[in-house]
């Protein structure tokens, strides 16, 4: 095998950690990026930039040429409900990456999501890779598109056209996070946060570096072919832990207000129609999932990855969480300063 790997979505949270991990392990790295001028930092770190987009088959084919390993981390994400947007990015884009991997003879590690389970993730026993995927509601277009992409990936392996494997991360955090930390940090900065049911439930939350470490183990292990790996519980993180470490990183005090679970359920029940009334109907269907996340323990197990691959994550939450919130604060402050300078 040659030692050149392609990473799609290389400027994103997980993609950037994958680039770092591969470079640390001595791999040559090619990063597929839509705007090379905004990804020079990857080049400065040692990656080679390849301009293109996963929805453009020719650019993906060119980027994968000569590679022996492909990590497909690019995706259309968010809470929108436009199926075509998610189909184009997550289904058609994955098909293009599959074809390019087949042409180059590369192994493909596909980054999926625990979102493929919807609310069915919560069961009486831990949710592992053997649990069949449910039929998701129409509005869960992201999860549905990822289910469709997983089907394509596993089918390609079964046909023998491409060696493939799948990793399913939960919500991720880390430096360069554009999803989780930016949403919750401003709430912490208000100085208080409700702890539903006491805040003792464990979150389905994992550091992106842990996911990158696991994904590389998957891609370099022949026996992982055709399998799915949950990378979902690097270290236990309670809601209370999240608030404490977030406050540390932000350098602020956050009062933790204890709210009984029964009261929280009533409040979230009111929140759903309220969101619809104020024109945020896109968020309304996700209120139940948010309540589950804050009041129910992480339902997933990563036992397969630990036992079969020796996955041993290295970044503990007491280090990674403050670092992620601190990084967000620096960037947010920098952006405010920049806007102030332009307006003066």
pLDDT recorded at residue 214: 98
* Residue 290, domain member (yes or no): no
Among 104, 106, 290, which Cα is nearest to 183's? Answer: 290
pLDDT at 339 over 60: no
In angstroms, the Cα distances linking 283 to 82, 85, 143, 267 are: 13, 17, 15, 15
Kindly state the average pLDDT of the residues 233-246: 96
pLDDT recorded at residue 142: 93
SS3 state of residue 339: helix
Query: What is the C-alpha separation between 139 and 174, in angstroms, rounded?
Result: 28
pLDDT tier, 335 (very low <50, low <70, confident <90, very high otherwise): low
Residue carrying structure tokens 């591969």: 22
pLDDT tier, 139 (very low <50, low <70, confident <90, very high otherwise): confident
Determine how many CB atoms are found less than 10 A away from the CB of residue 108: 28
Average pLDDT of the chain to the nearest whole number: 91
pLDDT recorded at residue 332: 87
| Residue with the larger pLDDT of the pair 268 and 165 | 165
- Which residues neighbour 193 within 8 Å (Cβ) at sequence distance 6 or greater? 187, 243, 254, 255, 256, 257
SS3 state of residue 8: strand
Q: What is the CATH classification number for the domain harbouring 75?
A: 3.40.50.720
Least confident of 44-48, 127-131, 216-220, 338-342: 338-342
pLDDT recorded at residue 176: 94
Tokens of 148: 């469709």
Query: What is the C-alpha separation between 86 and 82, in angstroms, rounded?
Result: 7
Kindly state the average pLDDT of the residues 304-326: 97
Among 152, 165, 164, 325, which Cα is nearest to 247's? Answer: 325
| Residue with the larger pLDDT of the pair 285 and 315 | 315
pLDDT recorded at residue 343: 45
* Residue 41, domain member (yes or no): yes
* Total number of domains constituting the chain: 1
pLDDT tier, 262 (very low <50, low <70, confident <90, very high otherwise): confident
pTM value surpassing 0.85: yes
In angstroms, the Cα distances linking 170 to 20, 64, 111, 157, 298 are: 20, 27, 11, 24, 10
State which residues form the domain around 25. Answer: 4-177+204-235+299-315
Q: What is the CA radius of gyration of the chain?
A: 20
* Residue 35, domain member (yes or no): yes
- Which residues neighbour 38 within 8 Å (Cβ) at sequence distance 6 or greater? 11
* Residue 101, domain member (yes or no): yes
* Residue 307, domain member (yes or no): yes
Least confident of 33-47, 57-71, 267-281: 267-281
- Tell me the per-residue pLDDT of 265-289, one tens digit each, with 9 for 90 and over: 777 677 667 656 656 655 555 566 6
In angstroms, the Cα distances linking 17 to 21, 22, 31, 45, 48 are: 6, 9, 12, 12, 15
pLDDT at 184 over 70: yes
pLDDT recorded at residue 261: 82
Kindly state the average pLDDT of the residues 35-56: 95
* Residue 96, domain member (yes or no): yes
Query: What is the C-alpha separation between 116 and 83, in angstroms, rounded?
Result: 15
Determine how many CB atoms are found less than 10 A away from the CB of residue 199: 21
Contact 300, 121 (CB under 8 A): yes
* Residue 182, domain member (yes or no): no
pLDDT at 329 over 50: yes
Kindly state the average pLDDT of the residues 320-331: 96
* Residue 163, domain member (yes or no): yes
CA dihedral sign of residues 114, 118, 119, 122? negative
pLDDT at 156 over 90: yes
- Tell me the per-residue pLDDT of 67-126, one tens digit each, with 9 for 90 and over: 999 999 999 987 667 889 999 999 999 999 999 999 999 999 999 999 999 888 998 899
pLDDT recorded at residue 344: 41
Least confident of 141-150, 230-239, 264-273: 264-273
């Amino acid at each position: 095998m040659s030692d050149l790997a392609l990473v799609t979505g290389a400027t994103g949270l997980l993609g950037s950690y994958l680039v770092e991990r591969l470079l640390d392990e001595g791999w040559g790295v090619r990063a597929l990026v839509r705007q090379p001028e905004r990804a020079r930092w990857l080049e400065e770190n040692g990656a080679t930039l390849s301009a293109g987009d996963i929805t453009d088959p020719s650019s993906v084919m060119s980027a994968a040429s000569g590679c022996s390993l492909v990590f497909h981390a690019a995706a259309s994400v968010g809470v929108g409900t436009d199926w075509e947007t998610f189909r184009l990015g997550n289904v058609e884009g994955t098909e293009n990456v599959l074809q390019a991997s087949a042409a180059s003879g590369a192994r493909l590690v596909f980054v999926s999501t625990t979102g493929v389970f919807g609310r069915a993730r919560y069961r009486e026993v831990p949710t592992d890779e053997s649990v069949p995927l449910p039929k998701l509601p129409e509005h869960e277009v992201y999860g549905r598109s990822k289910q469709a992409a997983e089907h394509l990936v596993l089918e390609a392996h079964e046909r023998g056209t491409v060696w493939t494997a799948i990793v399913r991360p939960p919500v991720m955090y880390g430096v360069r996070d554009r999803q989780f930390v930016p949403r919750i940090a401003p709430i912490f900065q208000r100085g208080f946060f409700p702890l539903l049911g006491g805040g003792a439930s464990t979150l389905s939350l994992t550091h992106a570096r842990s996911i990158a470490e696991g994904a590389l183990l998957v891609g370099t292990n022949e026996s992982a072919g055709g399998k799915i790996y949950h990378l979902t519980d690097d270290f236990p993180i309670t809601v209370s832990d999240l608030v404490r470490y977030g406050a540390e990183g932000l350098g602020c005090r956050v009062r933790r207000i204890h709210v009984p679970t029964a009261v929280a359920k009533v409040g979230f029940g009111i929140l759903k129609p309220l969101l619809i009334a104020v024109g945020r109907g896109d968020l309304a269907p996700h209120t139940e999932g948010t309540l589950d996340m804050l009041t129910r323990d992480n339902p997933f197990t990563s036992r397969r990855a630990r036992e079969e691959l020796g996955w041993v994550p290295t970044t503990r939450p007491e280090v990674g969480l403050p670092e992620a919130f601190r990084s967000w604060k620096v960037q947010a402050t920098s952006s405010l300063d920049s806007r102030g300078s332009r307006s003066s």
